[in-house]
Structure formats: C-alpha cells, structure tokens
Structure 1
Amino acid sequence: MNEPTSGADILSRKSDAKAALLGVACGLGAALFWALGFVATRHGLKAGFTPADLLMHRFLWSGLAFLPVVVRAGLGNLCGIGWGRGLALMVLGGPVMSLISYTGFLLVPLGHGSVIQPSCATLGGLFLAAVLLKERISLSRALGAVVIVGGLAVIGAESIGHIGQSGVQGDLIFVLTGFMFAGFGALLRYWRVSAFSAATVISVLSLVLLPIYAASGGFGRLAAIGLAENALQALGQGILAGPAALYLFARSVGLVGVARAAVVPAIVPALTVLAGWLLIGEPPTVLQAAGLVTVLTGFYLAQRQR
C-alpha cells in the first residue's frame, strides 16, 4: 500500500514547483534580454553609432558598477582569476569579441548574426568539450551538430546568392565570434571560473579602453546622436544584455540545474528574429526562416544527453 502523503511532502513539492517555475522564468528573461541586445546593436548601427560607440555602452556602465567589487575582492590577482587568464577571457568573451561581432552587423541583416553566432558557439562548444574537456559526445548531440551545420548552410546560401561578398564576409565574422565565445565558455569550465566572476573582471578590464575611446573623439559622436538614442543603448547593451541577462541566467542555473538551463541560449535566435521584426521592422526572409527552423532543430538535438 502507498503511504499517505504528509503535509510536509506536499509543501516540499509545491516549493520545488515554484522554484522550477521561477527558474524557467529567469531563463526566458535572460534569453529575451540577450535577444534585445542583438536588436539594440542592429538599431544602433542604423542610428549612426559605430561599433566602438556600442562597445563603450556595453562595458563602461558595467565596468564602473563592478569596479568596487573587483577592488574589494583583490585587484592584484583579479578576484582570484589571475591576470593571464583574465586577459584571455577578455579577448574571447569581452570587448574584442564584441567589437568584431558589432562589425558583422554592418554587413548582414539581423537574422544572420543572431543565428550564426549562437550556432557556431554551440558547435565550437561541442568540439572543445570533446577535445579539451574530454567529454563524451552522444549520438544525439553529434546529429544535432550536423543539423545545425545544415541550417547555417541555408543561411549562407542567402549571402552567396542575394547579398554578395559583403554578406559572406559578415557571415564569416559571426562564425569567428561564435567560435571565440565557445572558447570563452570552455575556458570558464576548464579553469572553473564562475560566469559572474568572469563578467565582473572583463567589465573592469575593459575600462582601460576608455582613454583610447575618448582620444578618438568618441564622446563627441555620442553627443551628436542625442540623449534618447544613447539612453536606449545604455539600457540595451549596458544593462539588459550584460549584467541583467547574466544574473538571470545564473539564477536559472541555480534553480533548475545546468542541463535545463543550457536550453536558454538555444531560444535566443528565435526571440531575436521575432523582436527584430516587431521592434525595428526587419522580417526574416524565407531562407532565414528556413535556416532558423533547421538550426533550432539542431539545438534541440544538441541539448539532449543521449
């Protein structure tokens, strides 16, 4: 016979259900904020910002906010990460990668960068997990990688057939930045550095670029564009796509676990394409939509454990 369920068991199940629901909500929030960051980038470039201007908005505000945290934790060894590792992470997942990515959006539509970069990050992550971290890649994940490559080929066909050389260059830029971010993620796992620690250190290190930006006349360009557009980029780049998305994603991992939270980056392309259509009037083409559906199928297979 089944033993009667106690009140404590019922409360525990309700608590677990609430935590899982909150974890899902946090994950969706992180994905939405990252998607809005992509859309803000595309809009900002159309509004007259340069990639360097967007880079300033992306890292200046978070760098100033996190500076006291890093100083208290220890600037000498960068919160225990170390200067060598911190600089490597800064290149692969910080301003260097971001600047290259912003440049790509000058060459191709939103639907290309928002799909190709996360897809190549997934492909690179699977490869590095097998080679660097010695993880076993399941048949489902290997099949997912093949399907993702097929989706990327569909999107690449649009660049070759309709956009031309600049389109191919833009797509290759997002291939590069996707693999750079994969290297960033692999090093975080290999060195056992938390995402929050990495984000704080990268943001603070990025402040060293501020004098160079000022000397190039960057603040004059920002003033010419206007307060409203700058406030929009400060929100989209410096808050939503940066600290806010990172916090929500870390919270999701803590509530539902790494495996379930790993689905979050997979839904960013779809949310980006939808937000780009609704907010800045960039509907996906037939080939972009076909590539997106194919890539999402590959994401689903790549997230499975078997």
Structure 2
Amino acid sequence: MPAPPRFSPRTIGIGAAVVTVLVWTAFIVIARASAARSLTPFDLALARICGASLVLVPWGAWMVMKDLRRKDGTASSLFGLSPLSLRLTAGAGIFGGVAYALLAYSGFFFAPAGHASVLMPGSLPLWTTLLAALVLRERITPGRAFGLALIVAGDLVVGGRSLLHAFDGGEVWKGDLLFMAAAFCWACYSVVARRHGLDAVRATIAITVFALLAYVPVYGLLVAGGAVVSHIGAAPWGEVAFQMLFQGVGSVVVSGITFTKMIQYFGPVRSTMITALVPGLSAFGAVIWLDEPLYWNLIAGLLLVTAGILFGVQKTSAGGRAAPRPAVPATATGCRDA
C-alpha cells in the first residue's frame, strides 16, 4: 500500500496558523450569536467544559499512567486525571478554565462582538505585560510601552463610548468590563503557566479537568437550588451538541494544538503578528454575519489595538528579546480565546 502523504513543516505551520486564526475569530462571532439563542452564559460554560472534557480527560488519564510507568516523578492530581500538581492545576484552572469562560460568555450578553474583538485580544497583551512585570520582574521596554499605550487608547476609544451611554440606561459597558476582566483572567493564567514553565498540552488538560470537577457540581447545585437559571434542558439538543463541539473541542482542544504547532514553526514573535489579524477579522465578521454596525470608534479602536500589538512585537524582536509566549491560546480567545 502507498505510504500516507507527509506534509512539510512549512505546510503544517501555515495550516496551523490558518486554523488558529479562524477558530479564534469564529469564537467571538459564534459566542455573540449564541447569546441570542437558548443557552445562558452558565450553560455555554458548561457546554465548553464538557465538550473539551470528552477529549482531554481521557488524554490526561493516559498521560498520567504513562508518567507512572516511566517513574519519572511527574506530579499528578485530581484522581489521576490532571498531569499537574493540585496547586498548579487549581491555580491555572481557576483563571484559565472557570473564570475566563464565565466572564467572556457573560460579556456577549451585554456587548456586541465588535467590542469583544477589540477589548479581549487587545487588553490581553496589556494585562499580560503588566502582570509579567509585577510577578516575573520582566522589564517593559520603551517600544513595548508605546505599543501598550496604543492598545490602551484603542480600548478607551471603544469602551469610553459605552461608558458615556451608561448614564442613559445602556448596558453595553457591562459587557466591555466583562471582556476586559476575562482577558485579565487569561493573562493571570498565562503568567502562571510561564512562571512554572508549563507544557501547553498538560496545562490545557489540567484546567479542563479542574473546571469539570469544580464547576459542574457547583453549577448543578445552584441550578437545583434556583440560584442560577439554566435553559440547557429546554434548549434543542442540536444547539447543545454544537456548542460542546465548537466551544469545547474546537476552541479548547483544536486551537490549543494548532496554536502550539504555529509557535513551533513561526516562533512567538511572528505568531503574535499572525494572531493580530483576529480583532479585525472578527469585527468585520460580526458586521457580515451578525449585521452589527461598524461605528467610527470601533474602526479607530481596531486600528489602534492592532498597531499596538504589531508595534510592541516588532520592537521586542528588534531588541533581541522574544515576545512572551502564551501557554495556550486566548479564546476564545478569545484570543487567545478562544
């Protein structure tokens, strides 16, 4: 029989980059579209966690068993399902598994996808750089500081308009704050992963296992007690299955693997430049598929945020220092996201 075709590293790298950008972009558009359907933010988080768990929990158990057979002393926790210690699993899982999902999905119920396109991917490098400087003692170069200033300006251009309408009874500002809080949680997770040198696959498995064992029981108790409203029982099964497939398998598993492959081929600096396409693509995707208006402040915010990301990366590259490498994508997401 003929041997299966083998792709070159370049082909794999380009394919991984395309898939990563498409999934991160689709996460923002689909999450906003989902807010107009049956499921609540708590239901969407449940679908994300359960969908990812179908793949990552067995993977984690297999990885732990393999480590035990090797007797290499690798720590594991949570009944042998997480390939990381309990302290690291809980620390990463709280920020990257539970808090990020709840905050991001909640934001889409108040603010349009165009705002998420700017505020989630845009504020992520801002929070990550500030936390890295505080926790990891990384120096903020003048070039990166200028890039961050552009990002802050873009966030203010987009979020400032909704804050002005808050006094008129508008609620978009709530979504904007939730998007920035979600990016902050993902930045916390990224800094934890970088501080401890966590492997991307092991970290993704660990946060999923933690979210499954911590979030799902609490969700069930709150729904049973009437403290949290859930529509998952009344929603069409097709919608629930789609959310589990896309939000869980796609946004968490697939983009996690492709992002790692993209980093391996392109490196962290060029990868950051590639993912800078996500804000613009998702914003225009929201205009095309969700009929969202494209106001002048949104266009200005997109330009400022994208320029800030690219400028900061270029200056870091020129200075000979690698841009910070996220452990897993934002996402989702949101970029990194998804």
DSSP 3-state at the match of 2:76: coil
Correspondence 1:67 to 2:70: no
In the other structure, the counterpart of 2:129 is: 126
Correspondence 1:181 to 2:186: yes
In the other structure, the counterpart of 2:42 is: 52
Q: Which amino acid aligns with 1:114?
A: S
Does the Cα contact within 8 Å between 2:39 and 2:230 map onto a contact in 1?
Answer: no
CA deviations 1:264-296 (Å, max 9, x no partner) are 432221121122222222243221111111111
In the other structure, the counterpart of 1:22 is: 12
Q: 1:150 to 1:227 in 2, by over 3 A?
A: same
Unaligned runs of 5+ in 2: 1-5, 66-74, 319-338
Measure, in 2, the Cα distance between the counterparts of 1:71 and 1:107.
Answer: 38
In the other structure, the counterpart of 1:296 is: 306
> Matches of residues 225-244 of structure 1 in structure 2 within 5 Å?
225-244=235-254
Correspondence 1:194 to 2:184: no
**Counterpart selection for 1:82 from 82, 85, 88:** 85
TM superposition shift of 1:22: 3.5
DSSP 3-state at the match of 1:94: helix
Unaligned runs of 5+ in 1: 1-14
Does the Cα contact within 8 Å between 1:20 and 1:256 map onto a contact in 2?
Answer: no
CA deviations 1:69-102 (Å, max 9, x no partner) are 2223338724552111111111111122210121
Measure, in 1, the Cα distance between the counterparts of 2:294 and 2:309.
Answer: 19
Q: 1:172 to 1:53 in 2, by over 3 A?
A: same
CA deviations 1:94-143 (Å, max 9, x no partner) are 12221012111112111112211222210011122333223333322111
DSSP 3-state at the match of 1:46: coil
Higher relative contact order (CA 8 A, sep 6+): 1
Identity %: 26
DSSP 3-state at the match of 1:262: helix
Correspondence 1:91 to 2:94: yes
Mean Cα displacement is larger for which, 251-260 or 47-56? 251-260
CA deviations 1:140-166 (Å, max 9, x no partner) are 211100011111111022202346552
TM superposition shift of 1:251: 0.7
Does the Cα contact within 8 Å between 1:55 and 1:99 map onto a contact in 2?
Answer: yes
Does the Cα contact within 8 Å between 2:24 and 2:251 map onto a contact in 1?
Answer: yes
Measure, in 2, the Cα distance between the counterparts of 1:295 and 1:149.
Answer: 8
Q: 1:143 to 1:158 in 2, by over 3 A?
A: same
In the other structure, the counterpart of 1:252 is: 262
> For the aligned residues, what is the CA RMSD?
2.5
Does the Cα contact within 8 Å between 2:51 and 2:245 map onto a contact in 1?
Answer: no
Mean Cα displacement is larger for which, 20-29 or 234-243? 20-29
Does the Cα contact within 8 Å between 1:155 and 1:288 map onto a contact in 2?
Answer: yes
Does the Cα contact within 8 Å between 2:201 and 2:257 map onto a contact in 1?
Answer: yes
Q: TM-score, normalised by structure 2?
A: 0.79
In the other structure, the counterpart of 2:271 is: 261
CA deviations 1:225-272 (Å, max 9, x no partner) are 213322332232112211111111011111122222222432221121
In the other structure, the counterpart of 1:12 is: none
Q: TM-score, normalised by structure 1?
A: 0.86
Measure, in 2, the Cα distance between the counterparts of 1:284 and 1:239.
Answer: 31
Does the Cα contact within 8 Å between 2:42 and 2:230 map onto a contact in 1?
Answer: no
DSSP 3-state at the match of 2:137: coil
